Amino acid sequence: MDDSRFRQEKVQKFEEFVDRRLKPDLVQAVAQRDKVLQQQKVFQDLRTNIENLEKNGVTSLRTMVNLGSEVYMQADVPDTRHIFVDIGLGFHVEFTWSEALDFISVREARLARQIDEHTHLIANIKAQIKLVSEGIRELLQIPAE
Amino acid sequence: MGDSAKGTITSLDSLFSPEEAQKAVRRVEDAIADRRKELDRLRGFLSDNSALIHLVRKLPDELSHDIMVPFGSAAFFPGRLIHTNEFLVLLGEGYYADRTAKQTIEILQRRGKALEAQVDSLKVTMLDLELESKFFNSTAAEAAEGLVEIREEYMEDTPKDVFESGISVPNPPDSSKEDNSGKPDEDEVHARIMAKLDELEKEEIEDGSASGSDEDAEDSFQSNVDDGKNEASEIADLSMQFSVKAASFLSDKEQPHSIQKSPLPPEPKENLHQASVLKLEDSSENSARQTSKVGSSSRRAFTGSIVEHSHGLASIQSTKSTTPDQASGSNPSKPVSRFKMQKGIR
């Protein structure tokens, strides 16, 4: 009787731990990874666009600029050879296409590494959750046996 | 007090438990917080809208503007804004409209009005919620303090019974009324009576009898009327009360006041009461208008018969000058007659 009560308390504690610490941690780690993934996508798109420009030899561009609240105005880019890329910390550097592409590759590599780290963290948390669940199951099964 | 009013006392605690009230308060506060966030969002939209109107108004001033054209979210191209009077406005659901600056401004203004209407309705909702939360708060506070809700049946003040022996106690609140007929020498008598009452009151207090007179004196008075001794004691009680209610009594001068009909629970403190009655009698002796008192109660129709029990009164008479602690039981006959006399006067 004491035993079972003791076991029950332990099981409860484990469950609580899982629910209160591990699960939120998991959620947070996943959210962070998603952010990095998004940024990676942005750079991927940029790279695609620049490559397209290069391929088609586009020098000037007509585009629509969002002035705010989805009100657009026509804009003309006379010379597309120079592009200003955001390198972080609020700086934009003027690149030529090839420089921009290089930079984007470096950036992408960095982002990929960050994503890996996040993935590791997430896997870690998931493993912990599994472990605790196993422990709970053991506690419950052994008495059942 | 006793018999006259039946009431219920409900502690606010039982009606609204403080914890639940607190929970309700929290819930309402959460709702208020949500609304507030919405409000902030809407206000942000409104300010954006007005900034855009300003910009759209300014743009057509130039043929073209040099700008940095965004390319994706992480790159810019240096470029120029052209066709500065043509705007493509999203109307919703994938529909766009090409408009001039003026027309765009009108569209934006209409949008702003719609937003303002939303803000107003949200404000009204928030106000309601705030009122609700205030109510809950105050209820919680009251319940926590242990406020108690007392309900009493409303008892018509009808003088059912006789007020015995003309010791009519002028119900202070009512008495001021005027049943009493003329009062000559009122002041003198009154002063005397007041003095007597004060003494009685002191004695009463010493005795430890606290007659709480809250209720309608008449009611209590009437209930006791029948029992002679009781009555006497009642009367005495009343008189006790009387001193308490001296102020109100003032208006009712004549009385000898014997018994103040104050809402006293008829306690059979006969000695005391009788003593007080005695004292009162004394004063009353001076003025013959005792019975008029009954009048006080008798603002209402005097339906009962005046039963004059000598017991209480007699003792009063006999012990006129003695201390209030005199015992009881003697039934004075004198007072009776006096009362009768007074009755006659009335």
DSSP state, B165?
A: G
Residue B120: partners with Cβ closer than 8 Å, 6 or more residues away: none
At B9, list the tokens. 């006392």
Quick check: A42 contacting B, CB < 8 Å? yes
- B254: pLDDT strictly greater than 70: no
> Cβ–Cβ contacts within 10 Å for residue A66, how many?
12
> How far apart are the C-alpha atoms of B232 and B209, rounded to whole Å?
16
Q: Determine the pLDDT at residue B113.
A: 95
Q: Determine the pLDDT at residue A98.
A: 86
Domain ranges of chain B: 3-152, 159-335
CA Rg value for chain A: 26
- A67: pLDDT strictly greater than 70: yes
> How far apart are the C-alpha atoms of B5 and B18, rounded to whole Å?
30
Parallel/antiparallel/unpaired status of strands A71-77 and B75-81: antiparallel
> How far apart are the C-alpha atoms of A21 and A39, rounded to whole Å?
28
Distances in Å between the Cα of B166 and the Cα atoms of B245, B281, B308 are 19, 10, 8
Kindly report, residue by residue over B298-343, the tens digit of the pLDDT: 455 666 666 666 554 544 444 444 444 444 444 444 445 555 555 5
Helices B310-318 and B228-244: angle between axes, nearest 10 degrees: 60
In this structure, chain A runs to a length of 145
Q: Determine the pLDDT at residue A1.
A: 67
CB B126 within 8 A of CB B134: no
Give the containing element (helix H, strand E) for B112: helix B101-145
- B232: pLDDT strictly greater than 60: no
Kindly report, residue by residue over B179-210, the tens digit of the pLDDT: 444 445 567 788 888 888 888 888 888 876 54
Residue A135: partners with Cβ closer than 8 Å, 6 or more residues away: A14
Kindly report, residue by residue over B55-79, the tens digit of the pLDDT: 888 888 988 899 988 888 888 888 9
Quick check: B105 contacting A, CB < 8 Å? no
Quick check: B46 contacting A, CB < 8 Å? no
> How far apart are the C-alpha atoms of A97 and A79, rounded to whole Å?
12
Q: Determine the pLDDT at residue B216.
A: 42
Instruction: Verify whether the Cβ–Cβ distance B77 to A82 is below 8 Å.
Output: yes
CA distance A6 to chain B (A): 33
CA distance B11 to chain A (A): 40
Secondary structure, 3-state, B272-331: HHHHHHHHHHHHHHHCCCCCHHHHHHCCCCCCCCCCCCHHHHHHHHHCCCCCCCCCCCCC
Q: Which of A52-61, B134-143, B273-282 is predicted with the least confidence, judged by mean pLDDT? A: B273-282
- B13: pLDDT strictly greater than 70: no
The CATH architecture of the domain made up of B3-152 is Orthogonal Bundle (1.10)
At B11, list the tokens. 């502690």
> How far apart are the C-alpha atoms of B252 and B174, rounded to whole Å?
9
Q: What percent of chain A has pLDDT over 90?
A: 19
Nearest CA in chain B to A92: B75
Residue B30: partners with Cβ closer than 8 Å, 6 or more residues away: none
Distances in Å between the Cα of B45 and the Cα atoms of B102, B119, B120 are 20, 11, 14
CB B261 within 8 A of CB B301: no
Quick check: A88 contacting B, CB < 8 Å? no
- A5: pLDDT strictly greater than 90: no
Quick check: B73 contacting A, CB < 8 Å? yes
In this structure, chain B runs to a length of 346
CB B107 within 8 A of CB B52: no
Nearest-CB residue to A71 (from B52, B74, B76): B52
Residue B274: closest CA among B330, B333, B197, B219: B330
Q: Determine the pLDDT at residue B180.
A: 45
Residue A65 backbone phi and psi in degrees, to 5: -105, 135
Q: Determine the pLDDT at residue B177.
A: 42
Q: Which of A70-74, B46-50, B278-282 is predicted with the least confidence, judged by mean pLDDT? A: B278-282
Residue B217: closest CA among B286, B284, B157: B157
DSSP state, A27?
A: H
CA distance A115 to chain B (A): 19
Q: What is the mean pLDDT of chain A?
A: 87
Kindly report, residue by residue over B208-218, the tens digit of the pLDDT: 654 444 444 44
> How far apart are the C-alpha atoms of B215 and B197, rounded to whole Å?
19
Quick check: B104 contacting A, CB < 8 Å? yes
Q: Per the confidence metrics, is the pTM higher than 0.90?
A: no
Residue B251: closest CA among B169, B179, B176, B168: B176
Instruction: Verify whether the Cβ–Cβ distance B76 to A77 is below 8 Å.
Output: no
Q: Which residues of A touch B48 (CB under 8 A)?
A: 68-69
